[in-house]
């Protein structure tokens, strides 16, 4: 009886495992559709040659560990090979996942104000620097590291337009089906300063994934000249 009970128990566990696997696979295999409508760049912090036709829009959360990993481990290589060579322009959009990251909205609003001071990327890099962990007591030191003017910053953060911009970016991400960070939309800039998307990458994937997507856009841009 003991042996039979053990066999039945093992069989039931196998059935449960097999039953649950397809759902996991479906969740992992659900790709994000490439947006068909043009994407606005208005108000987005940018980095790189403003004349570049190739654009990568980064949807990020300042308290997201995977966003930090991308910024530290992958972004420097993309900047060296694509941004600094004039092949690619970066644009940043906020997607604070406030249910998971309680400080993300405040960090996003600070980023909007940092952009108003012309120091968004300094804020971005200081916040995602190795060893930094976004905590309530850490805001002041990160602001200082980014070189933000504290008086201007406090005045900016009280402006409802700042929170409104972050809220609008969250709504836009939801309309595009973006639910996680980081997410990257790669495309070509149009004459009206919008972006025509050609590829979407979700997650802090290996550098080769970015190269594969970007090289297609960059080569196409160069051949069309």
Mean pLDDT of 95-119: 94
3 CB neighbour count, 10 Å cutoff? 7
Q: Which residues contact 63 (CB under 8 A, 6 or more apart)?
A: 96, 97, 100, 101, 102, 103, 104, 107, 134
Q: How far apart are CA 45 and CA 1, in angstroms?
A: 69
Q: What is the pLDDT of residues 93-104, one digit of tens each?
A: 999 998 888 899
Distance CA 154, CA 148 (A): 10
The yes-or-no verdict on residue 8 having pLDDT over 50 is no
Q: Is residue 37 within a helix (H) or strand (E), and if so which, with residue range?
A: none
φ and ψ at residue 156, rounded to 5 degrees: -65, -40
pTM: 0.83
């Amino acid at each position: 009886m003991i042996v039979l009970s053990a066999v039945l128990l093992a069989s039931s566990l196998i059935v449960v495992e097999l039953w649950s696997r397809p759902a996991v696979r479906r969740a992992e295999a659900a790709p994000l559709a490439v947006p068909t409508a043009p994407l606005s760049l208005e108000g987005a912090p940018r980095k790189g040659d403003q004349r570049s036709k190739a654009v990568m829009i980064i949807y990020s959360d300042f308290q997201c560990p995977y966003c930090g990993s991308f910024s530290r481990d992958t972004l420097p290589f993309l900047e060296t090979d694509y941004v600094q060579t004039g092949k690619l322009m970066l644009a940043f959009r906020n997607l604070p996942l406030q249910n998971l990251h309680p400080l993300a909205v405040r960090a996003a609003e600070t980023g909007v104000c940092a952009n108003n001071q012309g120091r968004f990327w300094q804020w971005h890099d200081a916040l995602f620097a190795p060893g930094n962990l976004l905590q309530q007591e850490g805001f002041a030191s990160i602001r200082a590291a980014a070189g933000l003017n504290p008086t201007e910053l406090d005045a900016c953060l009280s402006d409802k337009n700042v929170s409104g911009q972050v809220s609008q970016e969250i709504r836009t991400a939801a309309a595009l089906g973006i639910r996680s960070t980081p997410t990257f939309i790669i495309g070509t800039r149009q004459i009206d300063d919008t972006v025509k998307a050609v590829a979407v990458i979700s997650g802090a994937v290996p550098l080769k994934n970015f190269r594969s997507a970007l090289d297609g856009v960059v080569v196409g841009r160069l051949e069309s000249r």
